[in-house]
Amino acid sequence: MKFLIPILVGAIIGYITNWLAIKMLFRPLEEKRIFGLKIPFTPGLIPKERNRIAKSVGEAVGEHILAPDVIAKAIYNDLSNEKLNSWIMDKYNSFKNDSQSMNDMIKTEDKVKIYNLIVLVSKDITDSIFNQIHNSNLKERAVDYIISQSDILLKSVETKEYINKIIIGEIHKIKNDHRKIKDVLSQDSIDNINNILEKNKTNIGNNVKAIFDDSNVQNKLNDSVSRLVEQNISKVITMFISADQISEKILQVVEKYINDPKSNDDYIMLIKNGLNSLLDKELSDVIDQLEPLINEDKINNISSYLIEEIKMTEFSEKLSYKLDNLINSGIIRDEIEGVIKDILVDILNKPFSLLLERLDEDLIKELITLLRSIFDQVMVNELPVLIDYFDVSKIVEDQINGYDVKYTEELILDIANKELKAITWLGALLGAIMGILTPLLQMLQ
């Protein structure tokens, strides 16, 4: 009994002391007062130092446990490579046989948002395309390319033969066409011709005068009139007046008529009569009269003329103008934007199995490499910024401060229950040891 009682007393004291110390970490939860005086050690240590502890834990977690370099090191290793590759392959195999589309996976309330996003993306892509067209001189390059290709095409023997066939074919068609020319032409075209003649009446008269004033024409006309007089005037008359005098008088009358401004109306009338006569002819009659003049050489000349006309520089200018209008046209912009939008909507509605059916193993490997490269770039460049942006230390601190103290107590006791019990029984053991030392020391006296 001399040794047993001190041992039991020491053990009980050590056990109770450690148990009370552990309890005092949390209890009491609030400050206690008696007669207005604060009771020492209230509240418990953890409730009292809650803010400081939360701040310290937050800093420890943010700076050491969830630090960017620690997370990057944990993620950026061979094991994570294998896991990432395995994850990609699992997702690929899952989607490869999936009849769902991306649109099927979108919530109904989000579909309008997705469609609005597609419209916005389509507009941005279209703007980028047109900016690139303007910045890269695409119009000029397109014109140069078309002109160069057209030159090659026009210079080819096949093109000339093709045009010749068209001309010959049109001639054969007209040979069997018994319509009158005036039936082929519109009344507006005939009226326009008559109007042109009326407006150019003075110019036509001046041209006639210019022809008559030409010395070669006058000489030929004089010779013709002289021969006509000699052949048709009797010799009795020429005894009184010579043929040359008669010819001269006739020419004077002709010259007076030609120089008379009123004669312009007669010229127009004659031209209109000739024109009306021509318009009354059948197309087949005109071709019959012209056909002897249209031989192979003439057709080749017509083809060459048409080709040269097409190759005129005005063609490139007109083409440039047309392309300019086309590029700046709101219609073509809207069409391109609509096509891009339709493509994006089609991709959104297409089953994953169809989207992935053309992917082979080599392409999947390249995709994995690409994703890994993107992942590594994010880990190296963006992860520190992202963690700093979220401020992990502050998040942990706020989270701890947000816990109820009683819940915190239960959480810690649950986590460290075995260790805390060991500490309590260690107190009992130490108390027992201290209890046995007392009688031993008394025996030594």
Distances (CA, A) of 248 to 94, 237, 356: 111, 16, 101
CA atoms of 164 and 158, how far apart (whole Å): 10
Average per-residue pLDDT for the chain: 75
At residue 312 the predicted structure's pLDDT band, cuts being 50, 70 and 90, is: low
Tokens read off for 60: 């420890």
pTM of the model: 0.40
CA distance 324 to 335: 16
Query: What confidence category does residue 317 fall into, taking pLDDT thresholds of 50, 70 and 90?
Result: low
pLDDT at 340 over 80: yes
Task: Let me know: does 402 contact 395? Beta carbons within 8 Å.
Answer: no
d(CA 69, CA 63): 10
43 torsion bin: left (phi>0), alpha (psi -120 to 50), beta (else):
beta
The identity of residue 47, as a single letter, is P
Tokens of 155: 């210079």
DSSP string across 58-88: HHHIIIIIS-HHHHHHHHSSHHHHHHHHHHH
Mean pLDDT of 389-393: 75
As a whole number, mean pLDDT of residues 12-40 equals 76
- CA 15/CA 7 separation, integer angstroms: 12
Q: How far is CA 71 from CA 74, 284, 361, 368, 386, in A?
A: 5, 94, 31, 21, 12
Q: Which helix (H) or strand (E) is 33 found in, with range?
A: strand 33-34
- Give the DSSP H or E segment for 206: helix 201-213
Write out the DSSP string of 85-96.
HHHHHHHHHHHH
Percentage of residues of the chain with pLDDT beyond 70: 80
CB 164 within 8 A of CB 303: yes
Average of per-residue pLDDT across 238-246: 60
d(CA 252, CA 242): 16
For 88, the token pair is 């990609």
d(CA 246, CA 239): 12
DSSP 8-state symbol, 180: B
CA 7 to CA 428: how far, in whole Å? Answer: 10
| Per-residue pLDDT at 359 exceeds 60 | yes
At 246, the pLDDT band (50, 70, 90 cuts) reads low
Band (pLDDT 50/70/90 cuts) for residue 191 is confident
pLDDT band at 237 (very low <50, low <70, confident <90, very high): low
Parallel/antiparallel/unpaired status of strands 37-38 and 33-34? antiparallel
Task: Please give the Cα distance from 31 to 33 (Å, whole number).
Answer: 7
How far is Cα 258 from Cα 222, in angstroms, rounded to an integer? 15
From CA 55, how far away is CA 394, in angstroms rounded?
Answer: 8
Q: Looking at residue 178, what is its pLDDT?
A: 81
Helix (H) / strand (E) element for 164: namely helix 157-175
State pLDDT tens for residues 149-170: 766 766 777 777 887 888 778 7
What is the spatial distance between Cα 407 and Cα 366, in angstroms, rounded to a whole number? 50
Closest CA to 284 of 373, 159, 183: 183
User: Of 156, 135, 134, 137, which Cα lies nearest the Cα of 145?
Assistant: 137
Distance CA 37, CA 31 (A): 10
31, 38 contact by CB (below 8 A): yes
